[in-house]
Structure 1
Amino acid sequence: MTVEDIRSAAQRIRPYVVRTPLVPALWAEPSRPLWIKPETLQPIGAFKVRGAFHAVGNLDESVRRRGVVAYSSGNHAQAVAYAARIHGIPAHIVMPEQTAPNKVEATRRHGARVVLCAAGQREQVAAELLARTGGALVPPFDHPDVIAGHGTIGLEIAEDLPTVDNVLVPVSGGGLAAGVGTAIKALCPTARVFGVEPELAADTAESLAAGHLVDWPVDRRDRTVADGLRAQPSALTFAHLQQVLDGVITVSEDEILSAVRELALHAHIVSEPSGAVGLAAYRRGALPPGRTVVVVSGGNIEPRLLAEVLAG
């Protein structure tokens, strides 16, 4: 995938997504200037609309009219459901039983049929739905169209802050970091791109250190409060991550929740734990000096958890 693929994706999704701003973090340390990229402002509250609209929009019309199937712990589910509604096609979404209720209900509100499944069974149940419906699979990260759609975030960062030094991106399945990293490395070649993931789901950090994908069992990854970061990279996304990431920073559960609170109180941005890991990494102070952008990937936090975090 190239930056031209990402530019093409930007043209396709322009009518459906918000071009999110870079918000200066005036409360951050003056010696380490910080900007927030709030993908919480997207129509479904997360960056996933970018990849979903590009993938669905790129389907041949004869295929698209049969509908789409997706599997997701939440934000991709909502994004595909929303894209399907806009295109007037059916959507069947497979979600784990432990998915936050607010994300399940939000997906249903877009008109999708939600099928709940046991942990680790998403792909299998989705394959069964594909066989029954004849629809097209829109995976959460393992597809060039999805990666290119997410890469449009990197285009916007490069346009708004061409002198950026560091970009911090959450890592789970790797589609977001792969796309953003590809765009940044092409347009801001001196910038560094760092993936960020929870210590309790640090499979990407271990895989990059080993030079090959390392499997973490589902129950091990599911320990983290950052429910959107419990997936593992595919062969496709991992190959991209090896090329575009300058490193992976891991953060603790306490650091993640502290970052959720900081974003709410200082940036007035509601972030889910998965979206706040970049700020947690910035706070850890493990970055080289320079102008830093944190991608806040989503804001679909469970209300009860948000109340607990804000209560301190």
Structure 2
Amino acid sequence: MVDITDIEAAAERIQGHVLRTPTVSSPGLSDLLGVPVTAKLELLQRGGSFKVRGAAAKLLTLTDVEREAGVVAVSGGNHAIGVAVMAGALGVAATVVMPRSAPARAAEAARAAGADVRLTEDMAGAFALMEQLQRDGLTLLHPFADPIVLAGQGTVGLELSDDADELTDVLVSIGGGALISGVAVALRARRPGIRVWGVETEGAQAMTDALAAGGPVPTTLSSIVSTLSAPTVSQLTYDHVSTLVTEVVLVSDAEAVRGTLELADHGKVWAEPAAGCLVPAARRVLARVGGDARLGFVVCGGNASTADVFKWSTP
């Protein structure tokens, strides 16, 4: 298990390489949900999501041999951008493998940052190609099975604990689970008693399936939310979530897309459905814990185009 000292060390290591993103109270979301809401705006991070944190944390620990070999990563979108941006900034060659279902703008952004982008037919094929490239000699930069990456993502929670007013419940989206794992470690260490809730979409429910099975298992992917679509979680992230997270809430794709539009209308931020899913999940959390809650949202990324969201929202 990663602990708070690992996350504090990651924060020191990546300082100056990533942004300290704003943590703001949201009057619009507070009015919408009927309780105070604070948003951690990680969609304003370099690369448009939290992913550069874990990428920077890992890249800055590589040996000269590992750097020379170059890195390989697999991604539904945001990890590819984060790895490409940070590898480019640090002078490390990067190859990113993505399924064709990933947003085209994510592949374009990764290429623009200097990465070699390889496309596969589906996410399972992307993971298989990543493993082959690792066997061929590239250095693996895994999105959620690496404690150094997890600690890097946990710096989001460290900043939230420092910058937010009193919170009772924090909602975090789950793909492979590194973000929520790191955030939960930081928040539970800094603010004992706080509840951390995970959110997944139906058809991208790797952690929900793992919790039901008692450990990581393959999941069937069908969600439009490619940035949450890990084919399985890792033992590392399962251990953290099963120990530290109150519950994982499952919402539909349609609810996630509506949540994206509600974040725009009421929160005045343009997020992706991977963050939009927090809004319907918050309603379910409030039904459980009552109206005295003070909510925190980790708005994880904003790499979705208006055309994509409007297409998904059209019946």
Quickly name the TM-score band, shorter chain normalised. over 0.9
Q: How far does residue 89 in structure 1 lie from its aligned partner after superposition?
A: 1.6
Q: How far does residue 155 in structure 1 lie from its aligned partner after superposition?
A: 0.5
Alpha-carbon RMSD: 1.8
Q: 1:309 to 1:212 in 2, by over 3 A?
A: closer
Distance 1:3 1:189 in 2: 13
Distance 1:136 1:210 in 2: 31
- Output aligned runs, 1:3-82, within 5 Å: 3-27=4-28, 28-29=30-31, 31-82=34-85
Q: Does 1:123 align with 2:133?
A: no
Deviation per CA, 1:99-154: give whole Å up to 9, x if none.
1111111110001111111211122212222344x331101111001100000011
Distance 2:248 2:135 in 1: 38
Distance 2:311 2:121 in 1: 27
Distance 1:216 1:14 in 2: 36
For residue 291 of structure 1, what is the aligned residue in structure 2? Answer: 294
Q: 1:287 to 1:180 in 2, by over 3 A?
A: farther
Q: Percent identity?
A: 37
Q: How far does residue 299 in structure 1 lie from its aligned partner after superposition?
A: 0.5
Distance 1:287 1:32 in 2: 14
Where do 5+ consecutive residues of structure 1 fail to align?
none
Q: How many residues align?
A: 307
Contact residue 207 and residue 233 of structure 2 kept, 8 A:
yes
Deviation per CA, 1:163-192: give whole Å up to 9, x if none.
211010001101111110111111111100
Where do 5+ consecutive residues of structure 2 fail to align?
none
What secondary structure, in the 3-state scheme, does the structure 2 residue paired with 1:121 have?
A: helix
Contact residue 162 and residue 188 of structure 1 kept, 8 A:
no
Q: 1:308 to 1:123 in 2, by over 3 A?
A: closer
Q: Does 1:88 align with 2:110?
A: no
What secondary structure, in the 3-state scheme, does the structure 2 residue paired with 1:92 have?
A: strand
Q: 1:42 to 1:145 in 2, by over 3 A?
A: same
Q: Which amino acid aligns with 1:264?
A: A
Distance 2:312 2:287 in 1: 24
For residue 258 of structure 1, what is the aligned residue in structure 2? Answer: 258
Q: How far does residue 62 in structure 1 lie from its aligned partner after superposition?
A: 3.0
Q: How far does residue 64 in structure 1 lie from its aligned partner after superposition?
A: 1.4
Q: 1:152 to 1:287 in 2, by over 3 A?
A: farther
More displaced, 23-32 or 172-181? 23-32
What secondary structure, in the 3-state scheme, does the structure 2 residue paired with 1:59 have?
A: coil
Distance 1:3 1:95 in 2: 32
Question: Given the alignment, which residue of 193, 198, 201 partners 1:195?
Answer: 198
More displaced, 135-144 or 274-283? 274-283
What secondary structure, in the 3-state scheme, does the structure 2 residue paired with 1:44 have?
A: helix
What secondary structure, in the 3-state scheme, does the structure 1 residue paired with 2:52 have?
A: helix
Deviation per CA, 1:266-289: give whole Å up to 9, x if none.
222111111221222113444524
For residue 226 of structure 1, what is the aligned residue in structure 2? Answer: 225
Q: Which amino acid aligns with 1:127?
A: E
Q: Which amino acid aligns with 2:281?
A: A
More displaced, 59-68 or 250-259? 59-68
More displaced, 112-121 or 160-169? 160-169
For residue 274 of structure 1, what is the aligned residue in structure 2? Answer: 274
Q: 1:131 to 1:199 in 2, by over 3 A?
A: closer
Contact residue 63 and residue 136 of structure 1 kept, 8 A:
yes
More displaced, 272-281 or 198-207? 198-207
Contact residue 64 and residue 135 of structure 1 kept, 8 A:
no
Q: Which amino acid aligns with 1:121?
A: G
4+ residue segments displaced more than 6 Å: 309-312
- Output aligned runs, 1:132-211, within 5 Å: 132=136, 134-161=137-164, 163-211=166-214
More displaced, 260-269 or 237-246? 260-269
Contact residue 272 and residue 301 of structure 1 kept, 8 A:
yes
Contact residue 81 and residue 112 of structure 1 kept, 8 A:
yes
